[in-house]
């Protein structure tokens, strides 16, 4: 019988080297920017780099064969994390940003002048700028679904926004600013009504447990390893077989070709077509190790734990004078990402002081979501974002730190 999974909070924290090595109180609430690396991922990375290192898909000596087999097994692990049986629908990238760029480049040939790409006001710049680059090249038009005062997508406008010219709908699965979860079912139906492709940025969903990719309705799905407790430098673009097969590669180079002559190059089939050059092998193996470990955790217990912490956080924030929550004030349809501002105190001052006073790591800034900041008439917010290793001590330290900050600066 396998041992019971660690309980969320302090028990789970023991599986993360950074918390074991911390010499002073350390309350990490910047998980939406990057999660801390778990033991499984750290060990996989170290093992590859120090005991098993060889390039993949090239050498024929045993060490190289073993590295290639491990890399293939990592693809199968990531497919399993997505509930997918076809591992070749998993493209390894350097992260969500690279994945979305491959998607935007690959879909370009479906776009002509006047065709429309529908984004949302919640998007991270990684899910805006690649589409703008493609739209400019193809003469296509960008539109955006607005958000409500609660920081959720305002889907009342969907019928007006989706037209016969809509070719692509690209949305985040979970907002990195408001924590709101997108109603992907609605967007899938809207895309189907006009034959559009649905692209989902899963960067903030992937750290919250295995994903049923079929249930998301996505045609393409992107995420980063470093946010799901693995190393920096790797990520995934998952895509439906027929879509990926139709994509031009974004990068050309070694190991993505079938044949090269000076007259013409033919490309390898997906996923290799999109993996030019030496991939981030160690980071990919670490990502797979993290995914396999994450799949063993009790996600029902984690979701309950994080919801409890989010409630404690929202309650605590609402006691502080001058504080405005930018996003849903309730617990329905959200993850534990909470943004806020406090009167005219700058978000960077909030972050510096809560760190100095209570050892709390928060993010302050525009969160690579300037259109969303504009919607809320600000240029920066502070943001606390939760992971399964957070516990009540982190939330209480944050509220204490904010309380002191407000006293000092107002
Ligand atoms: N999309 C969302 C929603 C994000 O939060 C982020 C990172 O913060 C990204 C995309 C980009 O991820 P990366 O920088 O790992 O490519």
Only one residue has tokens 């978000």, namely: 347
DSSP annotation of 30:
B
| Rounded CA separation 87/110 (Å) | 25
pTM for this prediction: 0.97
Among residues 264, 294, 324, which one ends one of the domains? 294
Query: Is 126 a pocket residue for ligand 1 (Cβ < 6 Å)?
Result: yes
Q: Is the CB of 171 under 6 A from ligand 1?
A: no
Task: Tell me, using a 6 A CB cutoff, whether residue 95 lines ligand 1.
Answer: yes
Neighbours of 13 (CB within 10 A): 21
**Considering the domain boundaries, does residue 173 fall inside one?**
yes
Whether 286 and 327 share a structural domain: no
Using alpha carbons only, give the angle 161, 164, 165 rounded to the nearest 5 degrees: 80
Which strand (E) or helix (H) includes residue 148? none
Q: What is the whole-number distance in angstroms between the Cα of residue 320 and the centre of ligand 1?
A: 30
What is the CATH classification number for the domain harbouring 328? 3.90.1150.10
- Nearest ligand 1 atom to the CA of 97 is 16
In a domain, 35, yes or no: no
State the residue range of the domain holding 358: 10-30+298-409
Give the single-character DSSP code of 332: T
Give pLDDT tens digits for 179-222. Answer: 999 999 999 999 999 999 999 999 999 999 999 999 999 999 99
pLDDT tens-digit series, residues 128-160: 999 999 999 999 999 999 999 999 999 998 999
The number of domains in the chain is: 2
Q: Report which of 6, 23, 28, 15 is spatially closest to residue 386, judged by C-alpha positions.
A: 28
pLDDT of residue 233: 98
């Amino acid at each position: 019988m396998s041992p019971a999974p660690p309980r969320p909070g302090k028990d789970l924290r023991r599986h993360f080297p950074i918390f074991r090595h911390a010499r002073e109180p350390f309350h990490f609430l910047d998980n939406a920017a990057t999660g801390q690396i778990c033991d499984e991922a750290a060990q996989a990375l170290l093992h590859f780099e120090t005991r098993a290192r060889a390039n993949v898909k090239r050498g024929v000596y045993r060490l190289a064969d073993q590295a290639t087999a491990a890399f293939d097994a990592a693809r199968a692990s990531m497919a399993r994390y997505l509930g997918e049986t076809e591992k070749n629908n998993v493209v390894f990238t350097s992260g969500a940003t690279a994945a979305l760029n491959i998607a935007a480049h690959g879909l370009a040939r479906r776009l002509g002048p006047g065709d429309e790409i529908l984004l949302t006001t919640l998007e991270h710049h990684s899910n805006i700028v690649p589409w703008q680059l493609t739209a400019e090249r193809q003469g296509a038009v960008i539109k955006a679904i607005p958000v409500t005062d609660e920081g959720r997508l305002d889907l009342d406008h969907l019928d007006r926004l989706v037209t016969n010219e809509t070719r692509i709908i690209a949305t985040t699965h979970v907002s990195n600013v408001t924590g709101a979860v997108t109603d992907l079912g609605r967007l899938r139906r809207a895309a189907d009504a006009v034959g559009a492709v649905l692209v989902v940025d899963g960067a903030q969903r992937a750290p919250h447990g295995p994903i049923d990719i079929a249930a998301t309705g996505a045609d393409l799905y992107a995420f980063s390893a470093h946010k799901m407790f693995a190393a920096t430098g790797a990520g995934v673009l998952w895509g439906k077989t027929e879509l990926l097969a139709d994509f031009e590669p974004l990068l050309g180079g070694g190991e993505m070709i079938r044949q090269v002559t000076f007259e013409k190059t033919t490309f390898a089939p997906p996923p290799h077509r999109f993996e030019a050059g030496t991939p981030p092998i160690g980071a990919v193996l670490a990502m797979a190790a993290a995914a396999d470990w994450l799949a063993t955790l009790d996600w029902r217990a984690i979701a309950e734990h994080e919801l409890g912490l989010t409630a404690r956080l929202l309650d605590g924030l609402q006691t502080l004078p001058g504080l405005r929550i930018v996003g849903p004030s309730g617990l329905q349809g959200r993850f534990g990402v909470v943004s806020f501002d406090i009167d005219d105190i700058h978000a960077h001052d909030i972050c510096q002081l809560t760190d100095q006073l209570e050892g709390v790591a928060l993010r302050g800034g525009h969160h690579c979501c300037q259109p969303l900041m504009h919607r809320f008439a600000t240029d920066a917010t502070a943001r606390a974002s939760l992971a399964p290793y957070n516990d009540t001590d982190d939330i209480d330290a944050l509220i204490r730190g904010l309380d002191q900050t407000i006293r000092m600066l107002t």
